[in-house]
Structure 1
Amino acid sequence: MSPRHPSRSYRRGFSGAAAVCTVAALTLALGACSSTDDSGPGSGTDTKKGDGRPELKVTGAYVPQPPTGKMAGGFLTVRNGGSAPDKLTSVSSDLAGEVEIHETVKQQMRQVKSLKVPANGALELGRGSNHLMLMDLKHKPVKGDEVTFILHFEKSGSVTVKAPVEATNYTPEK
Structure 2
Amino acid sequence: MRPGSDKGSGFPLHIMNNKYLIGRLIMVKIFPYAAAFLFASAVAVFAHDSKDDKVTVVYDQPLPNVPGKSIKGILVEYAPGGSSPAHTHAKSAFIYATVLEGAITSQVNGGPVVVYHAGDNFSEFPGDHHAVSENASKTEPARLLAVFVVDTNETELTTYEE
With structure 1 as the length reference, what TM-score do the two structures score? Answer: 0.37
State which structure, 1 or 2, has the greater radius of gyration over its C-alpha atoms.
1
TM-score by length of 2: 0.39
